[in-house]
Structure 1
């Protein structure tokens, strides 16, 4: 669940110890699959032992010069029977008709590159179906906006883990990057920066491929890609990169975006400034973007150029990865005009200079390319308090101008988070039709 909408209600790679314990759990797994809920607790106990082993060794402070996508560690984080999956999804009003398997989920840490090109460590989750076939399809899921590292699905058992569990329970190995600076990853999160969302996701695929092959449960390298909210454009950008050969081992089968922010400067920011988006949410999201892009492009220099007093004194610290969305909301005003200077408002309306460079890097996930695979967009026709449907309409038009049909599936009059819950079963149907 994106935190903005929710406001409204040293093991090194190939460590023998880690690999041995993970493989040992996997070899024992068939014995667990048919047991009762009581005995499944034993699997969780074994998982906890592995967590302790990894925690004792720790993760290197710096990634060093080793290759991108190199797997550093794998830690079990969730073990669920089909009954428990069904109960979990039903409790969040997600249709459970697609549940076929239990789920084993792991947190991976791996090497990638930061915005400056230097080596950095990132994290993400991999959710595996339990039992059944020897080989499963693969889904990459790109999550929505979160503010704090601890809210990422690889470390938080709350709703940010729902999508990977939903897809895995339907029979897909599900790879869910945390993006840079979230989860247990190093540094600060470059919010909405498509280049780093893409590179971190490509490298996460490499690490997940290594991990599943070490378990003798290799994932299919022909991947389906989906994403929600912030993850909508991230999903399209990843599809574009893989289609262009970013990692020749992987190819794309279909792409599904859900309520994505595909058109930042044409739809999203205008909606934030004119009141189409709930003002409090607009305040937080525009501030998050300004701070993140300033770290990459030096947009405003001194915070007082972009933010009104007294907020200018706290902005950089608020978006440090340690504050939750609720923490941030409590310290910000109720509308963007109370937070942003006239200069900042003008930059969001008509970007220039460094802001224009930021816009080119973070906007236009649908523009300038022609997908060779089926693309489907899911969005509510009304009721979304955070991401206006104009984002999806503009994305659809960008593809149409290049001869690509990208149908929009109407999710109804629903709020932002409900749109995701309604969409996931429909995304699964879409993927199944292109197996």
Structure 2
């Protein structure tokens, strides 16, 4: 670990107030919390040494050994909008829920987000996994300084982008990547687990929210160009003007979300060139290989711990077909994960965002039953 910073101390009533402001279920909160930002060593997408930041939140008045909950957050494009650098109920709600309920919440910002250097490699499960594992290690090293210890058994969850990250972390822990930690259960929420076979087809066919589809397509193409190369030579090959001149800046972590949102088109038809459409409809080369790697969280391992998937009846951003495909793949490997239907929860008018709020309340109860 490189550095730590105490961010805030909150009473149980403070925590319940913040959660209530964000629509989170505060009924399991029994304790106040202390929140810290940890800066820690990890590796980038090429394996080179770098640093990242994350949020570590512990319950007040509960000393000694704590069960860690690793929560990996959903997509954001602006570096400050991450759990360790934002105080919005949306950003901190899951961490406060778990810590206020007696767990140690361990929440990575990911590479290139929060106070971390560089640009975020969006939708790159390998680096999200290493950032998550190294955040757990940093939290374990820091905990004794504040009179706590982290238990070996880790409960793993995440939302949207972080749902795949959660499965990636569970997989690497099961494979023995760390001699101390072992995964006890995993509970992903509304993930884009199968971009090749579910998310991209739904996005391109107009089955999802038009504006969100344009944003996700732009984020994917610009991110994977930075990570893998060969996606395009210049942005104008896949993006129409005037967006070709600005899209990389919008997704380099320095543009506030509202500014990016306003500056992007309302639909894919105004964003993509014919080559951009062709690349997403018929992936090839390095892009197709990256899609295969992304989907391996569902296709390349056999979980040996309890798994529960959480999703809405319908989802305007991450089609529920993602969950169907992931569950089917795991069942083909002899696993029978449970699927929890969250109904039609709304957060700021979004069913997708609403599943994070509703799912967190359901998952903290399940995790508490496992930890009893």
| TM norm structure 1 | 0.82
- CA contact 2:312–2:341 (8 Å) conserved in 1: yes
Q: Deviations over 1:71-106 (max 9, x none)?
A: 111111121100111111122222222101101110
- CA contact 2:64–2:147 (8 Å) conserved in 1: no
Please list, as runs of the form range in 1=range in 2, the aligned pairs for 1:397-408 lying within 5 A after superposition: 397-408=328-339
Equivalent residue for 1:240, pick from 160, 171, 183: 171
Equivalent residue for 2:267, pick from 328, 335, 338: 335
Aligned to 1:7: none
Please list, as runs of the form range in 1=range in 2, the aligned pairs for 1:114-193 lying within 5 A after superposition: 114-158=44-88, 159-193=90-124
Aligned residues: 364
How much has 1:387 moved relative to structure 2? 1.2
Of 354-363 and 325-334, deviating more is: 354-363
Aligned to 1:305: 237
Instruction: List gaps (5 residues or longer) in structure 2.
Output: 346-350
- CA contact 2:24–2:93 (8 Å) conserved in 1: no
Aligned to 2:348: none
Q: Distance in 2 between matches of 1:283 and 1:325?
A: 14
Please list, as runs of the form range in 1=range in 2, the aligned pairs for 1:20-419 lying within 5 A after superposition: 71-158=1-88, 159-298=90-229, 299-382=231-314, 384-414=315-345, 415-419=351-355
Q: Distance in 2 between matches of 1:133 and 1:311?
A: 53
Q: Does the alignment pair 1:421 with 2:353?
A: no
User: 3-state SS of the aligned residue for 1:385?
Assistant: coil
Aligned to 1:16: none
How much has 1:133 moved relative to structure 2? 4.8
Instruction: List gaps (5 residues or longer) in structure 1.
Output: 1-70
Q: Distance in 2 between matches of 1:329 and 1:103?
A: 34
User: 3-state SS of the aligned residue for 1:85?
Assistant: helix
- CA contact 1:297–1:357 (8 Å) conserved in 2: no
User: 3-state SS of the aligned residue for 2:150?
Assistant: coil
Q: Distance in 2 between matches of 1:426 and 1:317?
A: 38
Structure 1 stretches of 4+ moved >6 Å? none
Q: Distance in 2 between matches of 1:221 and 1:347?
A: 44
- CA contact 2:158–2:165 (8 Å) conserved in 1: yes
Q: Distance in 2 between matches of 1:99 and 1:235?
A: 23
Q: Distance in 2 between matches of 1:325 and 1:273?
A: 23
- CA contact 1:253–1:374 (8 Å) conserved in 2: yes
Q: Deviations over 1:128-167 (max 9, x none)?
A: 0001353221100000000011001101001211100000
How much has 1:331 moved relative to structure 2? 1.4
Q: Distance in 1 between matches of 2:68 and 2:189?
A: 18
Q: Distance in 2 between matches of 1:133 and 1:201?
A: 24
User: 3-state SS of the aligned residue for 1:399?
Assistant: helix
How much has 1:433 moved relative to structure 2? 2.6
User: 3-state SS of the aligned residue for 2:149?
Assistant: coil
Q: Distance in 1 between matches of 2:359 and 2:35?
A: 22
User: 3-state SS of the aligned residue for 1:364?
Assistant: helix
- CA contact 1:73–1:108 (8 Å) conserved in 2: yes
How much has 1:362 moved relative to structure 2? 2.4
RMSD: 1.2
Q: Distance in 1 between matches of 2:62 and 2:145?
A: 19
Q: Distance in 1 between matches of 2:339 and 2:28?
A: 22
Q: Distance in 2 between matches of 1:248 and 1:277?
A: 42
User: 3-state SS of the aligned residue for 1:363?
Assistant: helix
How much has 1:277 moved relative to structure 2? 1.2
Q: Deviations over 1:5-31 (max 9, x none)?
A: xxxxxxxxxxxxxxxxxxxxxxxxxxx
Q: Distance in 2 between matches of 1:316 and 1:92?
A: 31
Q: Does the alignment pair 1:430 with 2:360?
A: no
